[in-house]
Amino acid sequence: MRFVYKTVLILVANLVFLASCSSKHADHNDPPAPVTPFNTKALLAYNPKDADKRIDAFIEQLHKTRAFNGDVLVAKHGKIIYEKALGWADHLRRDSLKISSQFELASVSKTMTSTAILMLMERGKLRLDQNVKEFFPDFPYDGITIRLLLTHRSGLMNYVYFTDDLYRAQHWNQRKGISNMEEMALIAKYKPHPFNKPDKRFLYNNSNFMVLGSIIEKVSGQSYADFMKQNVFKPAGMEHTAVYSKAAYDKIPVDVVGHDRGQWRYSVAQNFLDGPVGDKGIYSTVGDLYLFDRALRAGRLLKQATMDSAYVPRNPIIHGHFSYGYGWRIFEAPGQQVIYHTGWWHGFRHIYLRDIKDDITIVMLSNLSNGSLLKLDELFKITGMPVVRKSAYKGNGDTSED
């Protein structure tokens, strides 16, 4: 009996040991373990009675005189001080926007794609100096690394224009979305001429992040949508954020419709170009983008050193203040740094700003594409954030008088 008892104990000990070993070698695609407590309910707490009256007056004026139509969130020091939904989600149906409305984030998606790439780097799944050909041997261009894609220095052509011209010339079905892998196959087959040699200069281009989205799929063995959900959205508490591609959905399951040319009659129907993701394709809310900001600050997604590297200007400074890092636009001045991104795609236009030093977050998502987001100087002054607008500065970085 003692022998049996000892044998059972040994077996149990071995199983515990094996379980411990297996947990140490868990799948590198698993979400990172939480670093700090993260109470999303408390972070999103807001009472409209406490709205900052100066911000409300400015946003209402922007809505009435500049036709801003969308959702707004402003936070300082970890507390929401203003949020509001203004206007229509779909003008044709006369559906009103809600603060929980999901918008196609357009190029704001790039901030999350870069986060995913840096996660894979931290987990040893890729290196920033790796060549795209290591992942896609048929890729027709030499010398393009992940780092060049992250910083828009690859010299690639714009796949959006290339694919649009190809579909029109071949009379292909424009309703069915094309996937990332199908797009990569088209590039390999037709070998469109690049704009520049790699690393010659900064050239903002959606192709860079579409290729990064494809690399995420290749390295992780998952769809971009699944990887982002498990590794970015879920750890950040972003319950109302998802990737929707026309390659996977006949109809994107959201209520917010994009309206182009600053006019309601130009509602935009999604087509094959809404298939590729990574450069776009993430749908989210102002609240979830605020949670993304807090998750990054809390170290839930990336190590601080990795985030700091993403915020380093990787291109020549424009107007003394503006540059681009790893998936983030950058404003820098003595003692100040604003990390931000804009978005503009199929009737959606956005700006997402994070003042790193003074902990101010501004999220403005719009589904009426016009110039209203170019008129935010007063909002910047009210919140204490620098004026993040290139034309507001002279070549030496001084504020202009206009």
% of residues, the chain, pLDDT over 70: 90
How does the average pLDDT of the chain come out, rounded?
Answer: 91
* Average pLDDT estimate for 382-393: 96
Half-sphere exposure of 104 (CA within 13 A, CB side): 31
Single-letter amino acid code for the residue at 134: E
Given this model, what pLDDT does residue 242 score?
A: 98
pLDDT at 89 over 50: yes
Contact present, 340 and 354 (Cβ < 8 Å): yes
Single-letter amino acid code for the residue at 16: V
Q: Which two tokens stand for residue 244?
A: 């929707």
Whole-angstrom CA distances from 258 to 225, 321, 324, 345, 381 are: 21, 31, 27, 8, 29
Given this model, what pLDDT does residue 29 score?
A: 56
* Average pLDDT estimate for 147-151: 98
CA torsion 155→156→157→160, rounded to 10°?
-130
pLDDT at 26 over 50: no
Contact present, 44 and 240 (Cβ < 8 Å): no
* Average pLDDT estimate for 198-222: 98
Residue-wise pLDDT for 321-352, tens only, equals 999 999 999 999 999 999 999 999 999 999 99
pTM of the model: 0.91
* Average pLDDT estimate for 361-370: 97
Label residue 264 by pLDDT band (50, 70, 90): confident
Contacts 24+ apart (CB under 8 A), 54-58: 54/382, 55/81, 55/82, 55/379, 55/382, 55/383, 56/82, 56/84, 58/378, 58/379, 58/382
Only one residue has tokens 């001045």, namely 333
Q: Which two tokens stand for residue 42?
A: 């408390």
Residue-wise pLDDT for 235-262, tens only, equals 999 999 999 999 999 999 999 999 998 8
Report the length, in residues, of the chain. 402
Region 35-392: CATH code: 3.40.710.10
User: What are φ and ψ of residue 180, in 5° steps?
Assistant: -60, -45
pLDDT at 269 over 60: yes
% of residues, the chain, pLDDT over 90: 85
Contact present, 341 and 110 (Cβ < 8 Å): yes
Full DSSP string of 130-191:
-BGGGT-TT---SS-BHHHHHTT-S----HHHHHHHHHHHHT--SSSPPPHHHHHHHHHHH-
pLDDT at 395 over 70: yes
Given this model, what pLDDT does residue 339 score?
A: 98
Residue-wise pLDDT for 45-63, tens only, equals 999 999 999 999 999 999 9
DSSP 393: B
Given this model, what pLDDT does residue 263 score?
A: 86
Residue-wise pLDDT for 105-126, tens only, equals 999 999 999 999 999 999 999 9
Given this model, what pLDDT does residue 32 score?
A: 53
Residues 6+ apart with CB under 8 A from 113: 209, 212, 213, 216, 278, 279, 327
Name the residue ranges covered by the structural domains of the chain: 35-392
pLDDT at 18 over 80: no
Only one residue has tokens 């959900």, namely 229
